[in-house]
Amino acid sequence: MDTNLQHGMDIPQNLGSRARARFVSGLRSYVLNNMASELRQDYEANVEPKWLESEGAQPVNGWEVLKAIRGSEYFKQYSSLRCATQELVWDTVIDSVENNVDSLQENFAKFSADQSQAQGTLSLNPDLEIPRYADAVDVHLMPGNYGGVDAAIEPGAIYDHGLNVFAFGMMGKQLNDIGWSMANFFRLKFPDIQPQRIVDVGCTIGHNTVPWKQTFPDAEVHGIDIAAPCLSYAHARAQSMGISIHFHQGRAESLDFEDASVDVVFSSMLLHELPEDVIDAFFAEAFRVLKPGGVLINMELPPNDSLSPYDAFYLDWDCYYNNEPFYKAFRDQDYTELCATAGFDTERFFDFQAPRYTYMPEEQFIEEMNDELSFDQH
């Protein structure tokens, strides 16, 4: 795994910080691959038969699998080690960021002031009320959350480097694979739409916003988030790459755009971090701001009803042990119904698993995309 990122807001890494990041990433990979596969084997060989014997039927959903498995020694070991490695992800990168605050601030000043390569903007709203759900817990065990404590940009750098370690470097050196995959899926699926305005909601550091501008250079691209330090970092990061994005501090539930003025509302890994009423309000806002024929496109985890009880349990793990309080509640919902409640035409609803654009030539992407696999077919 390369611990350096390819943009101007990267921080210098010494041998120690590289070694720590690689160790943590390797350990996480061991837990999520080797141990996870043994966890399933242990469940099938020991846990499920015992449950069947005592209950007279197999577990019918993720919750029952959790009840069956949580006393098992292997599950306890797996969960402890997974929690420890999650905490190590942040500990490791926080050290690197704290050791490089001066260089981070220097680059921030340089890139956010430089309009020669890109003409992006940043608008912060110090009066924005940060909802309690976004403040009360350190989501996915990330200390200080997205807003940090009195920090100007550090949480942005921590998220950037943390995500790289968390994903074993597999999101690319600009952590943009999701953005490229979704933007190109959209381009190929809707060739008749030439988007003029694209809005990424819950954009954090803009890593998946940038590829929308790269895919549709003539469009006006906006990134919205509640977390000021992440947005400030996002702005300098995009400017350093020469990509013009407009970042705004605001809430998904009240988008600052006129009715019918947006072609694409996009979100990535946002919905599972929101309470149900906020998702409803966000979808209603997306419906309001989209032009007729515009598209709301969300990259998310699959719904529980498309998964086996074991797989549902496996994904729900984050809800119980990784400070993701809304993870299960979101995935327990019917996604088509969520869209219908906001006013969207259910005839136009589609779900799909996008191939990874940065991992293959475009011809292969088109071929895989045309397989039209939906969540339910996996």
Ligand X SMILES: C[S@@+](CC[C@H](N)C(=O)[O-])C[C@H]1O[C@@H](n2cnc3c(N)ncnc32)[C@H](O)[C@@H]1O
CA end-to-end span of the chain, whole Å?
29
- The number of CA neighbours under 13 Å toward the Cβ of 48 is 14
Q: Tokens 């200390």 — which residue?
A: 143
Q: Cβ of residue 156: shortest distance to ligand X, in angstroms?
A: 9
Binding mask 107-136 for ligand X (x = CB under 6 A): ---------------------------x--
Using CB under 6 A as the binding rule, whether residue 202 contacts ligand X is answered as yes
35 binds ligand X (CB under 6 A): no
Task: Check if the beta carbon of residue 31 is closer than 8 Å to that of residue 77.
Answer: no
Q: Which strand ranges, in their side-by-side order, compose the sheet holding 290-299? A: 121-123, 246-249, 220-225, 197-201, 262-268, 290-299
Distance CA 204, CA 225 (A): 6
Report CA torsion sign: 369, 199, 201, 257: negative
CB 328, min distance to ligand X, A: 16
Q: Which is nearer to ligand X, 68 or 274 (CB)?
A: 274
Report in angstroms how near the CB of residue 232 gets to ligand X at its nearest.
13
Q: Which of 195/202 has CB closer to ligand X? A: 202
Question: Is 271 a residue that touches ligand X (CB under 6 A)?
Answer: no
> Which span (271-279, 287-295, 305-313, 339-347) binds ligand X, by CB under 6 A?
271-279
At closest approach, how far in Å is the CB of 203 from ligand X? 5
Site for ligand X in 143-172 (CB under 6 A): 146
Which of 10, 263, 273, 318 binds ligand X (CB under 6 A)? It is 273
Q: Return the residues of window 203-262 that contact ligand X according to CB under 6 A.
A: 203-204, 208, 224-227, 230, 251-253
By CB under 6 A, name the binding residues for ligand X: 134, 146, 178, 201-204, 208, 224-227, 230, 251-253, 268-270, 273-274, 278
